[in-house]
Structure 1
């Protein structure tokens, strides 16, 4: 850890503190000219003073010191480094490229967000991530936007299997990471934020190869990148809206969507119509159900219900009624997934719906996608279900695109 600090809030302090809190089990060697110890760990003046072998160097020292530090790391035989300091487009990129070629060192940065990989209890980033799981692998070119994306994802009940900041991409680029992350068992989907594109052909080839194993979502504000990646548009979402991107990633949390025929069940005809509109221009279908299927569900429907797909169960629909509809449709050969929409703020009903959906998850062979339309409590229930591996939504406008990509992905993979 080169460039450590004893001052909370400083990059050199926060990164080392996060590594310790993450439970990293290997030895840590702080490097500092100012301190003899940092956070109760012996510190060294130079990496050359460390007698043990070093697998990874994390550099948060000021940009002007980095070239000399890199040369010392190369002389020490360090094979991997992360440069957190500097600017993405600074002249430091040339020094990094030269050291990488000269010493065979693989380097992230400059201005990298760092690396978070909970499987190995590693967090060398300024973000205090301590609880990872099966979820999204995020590759972010921007450090500050990457931090915001992580914060938003966590607030939406999503977990990260990995976070990697490419920064200025002087050496390691997105295609170098895709192969590894696509083989990671804890990764459900890969999200890439990028503002620059190096070798277009190489990147597109790496995306198509990784797609064989994991879905990929690209977030970019660059019209030029969107134009260059146009040939990929039929295969992956490319968006400038990272909120929509997280909703797409959420569709891969639960059961695979194998088929495109959706049963829509709601306690509001208005909400059902909004959902139907969100499915327009997608591959998903809302099939007409047979009389036999409707008869199986009819005994659970309140008076005044609309007995066609989408089903309107009226505001009288209780969690028990929703459960009856799910149970009666679980073995239907006419549908492939169920979208359940609940409008309301009754805390008892929302809690019961959450419990019911968790109980039904293992009983249903079809994915059930709940959509909660309301305020803070609705959002909280959706967050809890996402943490438990059930794709849940609060923005009905994003549901269609998210489920469409998931259905098309599983159809072709």
Structure 2
């Protein structure tokens, strides 16, 4: 499968138009990230003032930039963007990222400016991302054309978003808790490159195992569904769409100028595409990390391993709510658990080791549950207490679960030390959640994806004698 956005992630050289030596400017942030995050190709700052920024020669115009260069990041005021894009076209640059806001999200006049961008792009054969975006990044190349504060580590999650803030916030969270990403694509107003292009790109990317999409508008629903079906034939897709209520629709319109569609139509599109729709940003990342780190369960029988009865009861409720159920542990499994768990452990399901289990108790009990034929997946819960370091529990769970075929998720609640524990779990490909509800949701996403794979409808085949031109004419009233 070809990657329609290949050059955005693998340019031979990058020009930054509007580059500034002022650290408070967005253009400085873009240049800084390209340099500091390790882009291996040449970088060309462009500013009429010339000089030097971050040790790089500044060129007075894009026409003066030497080869090789095939990507431009334009960080200029909205009124100057079309002219700068035309200069790039004359220079022979055929790919651009347009950072500036002040276009379609402002109304009719802004939409006229967007149309002017498209006219320039058509004239010179340019593909562009934006405007009103934060850029793109690939952690494996690496390349980072964003002005965001952090760059996540390498991982299997690809994120595409109409909101730059969703990208920035997700990257910041990911860097703190050790969740890796493959690519991040900020589409902004998607005046040229759209959600379908982004999905095709992430489908083609060998480092992306799951795609998370934050969507505000679908101007071409058919293109979205077709691209999503191509992607979900290879890897899972999690979709959060804003603008599904009257208030959300108004907010979306003022943010990216998108026209939000009816909720039922969106949900039908997700079913047809094989995508997993979610309701919140938390659900989007919770599903994504589960799908990136673990295989789907073979069936719906879940075991809960815990040191706290209340959180386990809440987790059990949510296991049922997401279409699964607690496994009935066999007498043989319960006997094995009594051999490795602290005295007094309740070996039914949930398996409650009460207040004082050590890390090795978690490792041994989890091993028993993963080997039990009546168990298809495990939720581990640890509520921090003074006796057992939570980091040690995270490492024990992670090492035991890392190579297991069955999915394991881990809920460690609390404040201090949680980040280090989360990083330890994610290092061993075990998703960490702050609540048992969210841990159950992660397992539910895996179960839902297993069901989608089993029940995926075949692609419709048009009748062999279909007159496509006649059909189009009828639909258009001609």
TM-score, length of structure 1 as denominator length: 0.93
Q: 1:233 to 1:397 in 2, by over 3 A?
A: farther
List aligned pairs for 1:303-322, cutoff 5 A: 303-322=343-362
- Which of 19, 28, 40 aligns to 1:4? It is 19
Q: Which runs of 5+ in 1 are unaligned?
A: none
Distance 1:358 1:210 in 2: 30
Identify the residue that residue 58 of structure 1 maps to in structure 2. 73
Asked if 1:110 corresponds to 2:110, the answer is no
- Which of 281, 286, 299 aligns to 1:247? It is 286
Per-residue deviation, residues 273-317 of structure 1 (Å, max 9, x unmatched)? 010111122222212122122122222233433231121222132
Identify the residue that residue 353 of structure 1 maps to in structure 2. 393
Kept after mapping to 2: 8 A contact 1:63/1:86? yes
**Aligned-residue offset at 1:253:** 3.6
Identify the residue that residue 278 of structure 1 maps to in structure 2. 318
List aligned pairs for 1:203-282, cutoff 5 A: 203-223=224-244, 224-225=260-261, 226-234=263-271, 235-259=274-298, 260-282=300-322
**Aligned-residue offset at 1:141:** 1.1
**Aligned-residue offset at 1:169:** 0.9
Distance 2:125 2:77 in 1: 23
Decide which moves more: 300-309 or 171-180: 300-309
Secondary structure, aligned partner of 1:376:
coil
Per-residue deviation, residues 12-68 of structure 1 (Å, max 9, x unmatched)? 111011100011121122211122333222222221223424210110011111111
Distance 1:255 1:366 in 2: 8
Identify the residue that residue 80 of structure 1 maps to in structure 2. 95
Identify the residue that residue 403 of structure 1 maps to in structure 2. 443
RMSD: 2.1
Kept after mapping to 2: 8 A contact 1:194/1:220? yes
Identify the residue that residue 47 of structure 1 maps to in structure 2. 62
Decide which moves more: 153-162 or 67-76: 153-162
Q: 1:221 to 1:298 in 2, by over 3 A?
A: same
- Which of 147, 156, 174 aligns to 1:153? It is 174
Identify the residue that residue 331 of structure 1 maps to in structure 2. 371
Kept after mapping to 1: 8 A contact 2:391/2:417? no
Kept after mapping to 2: 8 A contact 1:183/1:213? no
Kept after mapping to 2: 8 A contact 1:139/1:165? yes
Identify the residue that residue 392 of structure 1 maps to in structure 2. 432
Distance 2:435 2:419 in 1: 10
Distance 1:364 1:193 in 2: 31
TM-score, length of structure 2 as denominator length: 0.81
Kept after mapping to 1: 8 A contact 2:211/2:237? yes
Identify the residue that residue 190 of structure 1 maps to in structure 2. 211
Identify the residue that residue 171 of structure 1 maps to in structure 2. 192
Decide which moves more: 207-216 or 146-155: 146-155
Q: 1:301 to 1:44 in 2, by over 3 A?
A: closer
Q: 1:144 to 1:265 in 2, by over 3 A?
A: closer
Kept after mapping to 2: 8 A contact 1:382/1:394? no
List aligned pairs for 1:123-134, cutoff 5 A: 123-134=144-155
Kept after mapping to 2: 8 A contact 1:278/1:401? yes
Identify the residue that residue 13 of structure 2 maps to in structure 1. none
Distance 2:39 2:86 in 1: 26
Kept after mapping to 1: 8 A contact 2:33/2:146? yes
Q: What count of residue pairs does the alignment treat as equivalent?
A: 413
Kept after mapping to 2: 8 A contact 1:345/1:375? no
List aligned pairs for 1:364-403, cutoff 5 A: 364-403=404-443
Distance 2:84 2:66 in 1: 17
Kept after mapping to 1: 8 A contact 2:155/2:179? no
Q: Which runs of 5+ in 2 are unaligned?
A: 1-15, 105-109, 245-259, 454-478
Distance 1:210 1:306 in 2: 44
Distance 1:274 1:45 in 2: 62
